[in-house]
Structure 1
């Protein structure tokens, strides 16, 4: 498979017009595209693909599909279907309205290629860099990069469940001892 560069900078005119008519206030995928712009370029993935062979699907598009897939919690099949059928994704990916998308298996192959080449971190770094340039992430500020807050919330919920269960057990004992 060989890499043939695709320009994601320009959104097809008809796609942009229809997307703006359907989503006048925008939506997640469109905002990602509007705020971050084309985050990835095929040139970023050159070393992952040989110069000869059949053309591959744009890795820049596949990278953005992976980001959108994660943001919406979709499976590979659902993400491939979204590329084929959703107007907001076509807008974000700079696709023509008539684009038929790709088979879902391409996503797992792309991820495997990223992991094999140890390039998965570059994908994350590109998103963080674009978010920083767009002013969404401030340098030098306190950033939450771990799950400490999630664990703390879970701990609080567990304690509440313990109290509820203790109260239920106590009421059951009282009901058995006191009868009516």
Structure 2
């Protein structure tokens, strides 16, 4: 893949006009653009890519997205959605309003390139130098820069969603195959906990909330795997593809790690989220009924007391 290039251009006039009309006081993302113009330029990444192949997403754009993603504590899926949908991010990135975003997997691929050698630390030092030149940070002697915790925090947010979704997929496969056996392993409350696809916006926020959620998922995953691989379990249970995936991926890992590496990680601390208005009446009840679909939710409803 060759390097995509977008840096060096001005903010589209329509994007600037709409952004300031919608956010008269600006936002942190808009302030970054106004203070620094372009925090990164594509030439900073010239040695990361070959000269052949199709053009990818601009690395300068992906680097700035990664900074905004870390600042707002967003997993990859939400960050990619912000690029496509949020006006202030389009302003910061110099994008046209109708310019599409990119698949969230591109961010993970960019981090893989970033993690090679000392690229991450060199890029972070470059960013600090430009912030100092712009007068946004002051130099006080020698300062050690280390990007490891930034990369780890963003990866962990996406990993939480991945592990919980893997457990949910395994449970749905088991409830379709043999609901009676599964009833002896889990409680109906699991149907409420894992009945819907796992998404970041539905997960607890804040350090304590995330830590408790991780322990819950880890404990549930370990309990399920212990039952699956118990000598009394039917042989077919271990042969379910989704169960094999869960066994090899994450719940057991989370359970082993416990709070040593997760609960004490300050990088997981989220910000308070605005509460959404919930409509009332028959229309709202209909929406809730439509959301409560899927074999796990139905399992919980059938067996709840």
Query: Where does structure 1 differ by over 2 angstroms across 4 or more consecutive aligned residues?
Result: 140-146
Distance, in Å, in 2 between the alignment partners of 1:126 and 1:65 is 16
**SS of residue paired to 2:112:** helix
Residue 71 of structure 2 corresponds to 71
- Cα distance change, pair 109–50 in 1 and its aligned pair in 2 (3 A): same
- Cα distance change, pair 110–38 in 1 and its aligned pair in 2 (3 A): same
User: Offset at 1:117?
Assistant: 4.3
Determine if the alignment matches structure 1 residue 133 to structure 2 residue 133.
yes
Distance, in Å, in 2 between the alignment partners of 1:3 and 1:113 is 12
Determine if the alignment matches structure 1 residue 121 to structure 2 residue 121.
yes
Distance, in Å, in 2 between the alignment partners of 1:132 and 1:126 is 10
Q: Unaligned regions of 5+ residues in structure 2, if any?
A: 147-305
Q: Contact (CA 8 Å) 2:84, 2:100: kept in 1 or not?
A: yes
Q: Which has the higher contact order (CA 8 A, sep 6+)?
A: 1
Distance, in Å, in 2 between the alignment partners of 1:4 and 1:81 is 20
- Cα distance change, pair 39–73 in 1 and its aligned pair in 2 (3 A): same
**SS of residue paired to 2:115:** helix
**SS of residue paired to 2:111:** helix
Q: Contact (CA 8 Å) 2:90, 2:97: kept in 1 or not?
A: yes
- Cα distance change, pair 9–126 in 1 and its aligned pair in 2 (3 A): farther
Distance, in Å, in 2 between the alignment partners of 1:142 and 1:26 is 33
Q: Contact (CA 8 Å) 2:7, 2:60: kept in 1 or not?
A: no
Q: Contact (CA 8 Å) 1:83, 1:90: kept in 2 or not?
A: yes
- Cα distance change, pair 144–48 in 1 and its aligned pair in 2 (3 A): closer
Determine if the alignment matches structure 1 residue 59 to structure 2 residue 59.
yes
User: Offset at 1:6?
Assistant: 1.7
Distance, in Å, in 2 between the alignment partners of 1:115 and 1:145 is 15
Residue 109 of structure 2 corresponds to 109
Q: Contact (CA 8 Å) 1:4, 1:55: kept in 2 or not?
A: yes
Distance, in Å, in 1 between the alignment partners of 2:40 and 2:78 is 22
Q: Unaligned regions of 5+ residues in structure 1, if any?
A: 147-180
- Cα distance change, pair 61–145 in 1 and its aligned pair in 2 (3 A): closer
Q: TM-score, normalised by structure 2?
A: 0.45
CA deviation map 1:4-33 (0-9, x unaligned): 422344111110111011111101100111
User: Offset at 1:142?
Assistant: 9.4
User: Offset at 1:55?
Assistant: 0.4
CA deviation map 1:157-180 (0-9, x unaligned): xxxxxxxxxxxxxxxxxxxxxxxx
Q: Contact (CA 8 Å) 1:8, 1:93: kept in 2 or not?
A: no
Count residues in correspondence.
146
Q: How does 1:1-180 map to 2 (within 5 A)?
A: 1-140=1-140
- Cα distance change, pair 143–112 in 1 and its aligned pair in 2 (3 A): closer
